Structure 1
Amino acid sequence: MIDKLEYLLALAQAQHFGRAAEACGITQPTLSAGLKQLEEQFGVLLVNRGSRFQGFTPEGARVLEWARRVVGDVRAMRDEVRALKQGLAGHLRIAAVPTALPIVAALTTPYRALYPDVSFTIWSRTSLQVLDLLENLEADAGLTYLDNEPVGRVRAVPLYRERYCLIVATDHVMADRPSVTWAEVGTVPLCLLTPDNQNRRIIDRYLRHANVQPNATLESNSMIVLLTHVQTKRWATVLPAAMGDALGREHGLRLVPVTGEEPPTIGLVYPKREPLPPQTAALVAEARKLAAAWNDVPHEPA
């Protein structure tokens, strides 16, 4: 039955019969036959079919929930047995919100030193996408905000608080200020991340708290686009200090701390499952060591 449940997961991820079959390395007729066999075993219709995939029936949605749990446990069991036999090896998939990307190396580098046979894939995703990837078993762990919007059925290791900076050209009127308030941020033309990024929703909320109506005259899901526009001296942007340090100074820009709001917490999130796959468990251990080194959820490390 496990292979049929894998088909169901693939269909949930792809939302398309052909792409789901391709992801499973089988033909579409084989996928359809496997799903039909699963329906016969349960005695209910699981998938709404037409000329294309039309979603899951209520029973199918419930079976999908169980499939995620069962398939996740089977994969974890296989990984643990393999690790007991051969040592920790394999592949670790991490999805991170864009603003957390600069600190990924603080996790992967010591991890790699301990377990050189583990490789990584790092994705830049929105906070909602991070949770979806975890739920659908497409990612092993994520880096995202913990205390701003619901994070769902995951466990978390808080790592640091995300400090914000106004990023401006060197000759900007605020460039030499020791700090600025959110009300002052609202007085300059802004280019910001698109609203599907939680970072943008946080910034908009802080501006509203300062009685300023958010008014970005340019939006992009690329921080390079934002910073190159700041270089034109026609815009300013707001980014976390870690991202500003990584990219802003490289572009010859100034970072001015923004004060007045409690900064949000970024942390490692991972499935609520016991036991964890050994690769994920080792990553959680590294995250806890990193959190301790950064002294109990501090502001972003320099």
Structure 2
Amino acid sequence: MGAVLKPLQRGLAFLGSCLLATGVAALECSQPAPDPSRIAVAGGSLAEILYALGEEARIVAVDRTATYPVAARELPQIGYVRNLSAEGLLSLQPTLVLGEHDMGPPAVVDQLSALGLDLLVVPERFDAEGVAAKIRCVAAAVGRAAAGEALVAETLAGAVTAPAAPDAPRGMVLLGLRGGSPVAAGRDTSGSGLLAMAGVRNALEGFEGWKPVSEEAMALAAPAFIVVPERGVADAGGLDALLAHPALRLTPAAQAGRVITMDGMAMLGFGPRTVATAARLRKQLQAAP
């Protein structure tokens, strides 16, 4: 019983000390964190950056999106990036909470700030420069600005710099099936950003955000290729089951078998791997008949 109670007692003591703090301790990307020795990470891309910088020993917890590298999956969990557990997070006594732009819920973020915890919410932009800015932000927070610049140079080395040509193929990024409908990336999404970074056009650029797509909208979009995360394929019951969906089966992509599956976080996380993933997608499309 004592072994069970001690971690809880330490967490409650830490919470008590936090309650004595005042003000909002929100940090900016340009400044080093006062004490980055124990980092709770809400966002798989941020965990990837810390590992790439060789700073994984600082991580005391991650959320469920931290799946790469494999070692990150063994760390204590604090829920999902948009649905964090404040109690679980506080019990691990972090000195810094590092979160992606959509960390939440808002009530938990407000609670962490009100308790005086150092909190750095990293801005998101769905392009190569956005990835570079995210790396620099994390590197500065842990006092590794020079290492961050080296990682930026390595990450951007293979980036596609030319925008999509007017005659570039029009494709689509699907998350998978939700409620019986395919959910696809409109503009201002990570999926649309991935396509732009690959130098191709989004067939759903007339939509905004992630949207369920009807049979009629899919027919009008007529994607020449489809990119889908491996998890989306598995959740749909396999690639054949996904492409048999009435909204997908008659698209040029399905008819030609131009469907590409990729690791979801590498595709859409906009961490160090996403730039290389976009370049690989471009090569695959160029090689396809």
TM-score of the pair, normalised by structure 2:
0.31
TM-score of the pair, normalised by structure 1:
0.30
Tell which has more relative contact order, 1 or 2 (C-alpha 8 A, sep 6+).
1
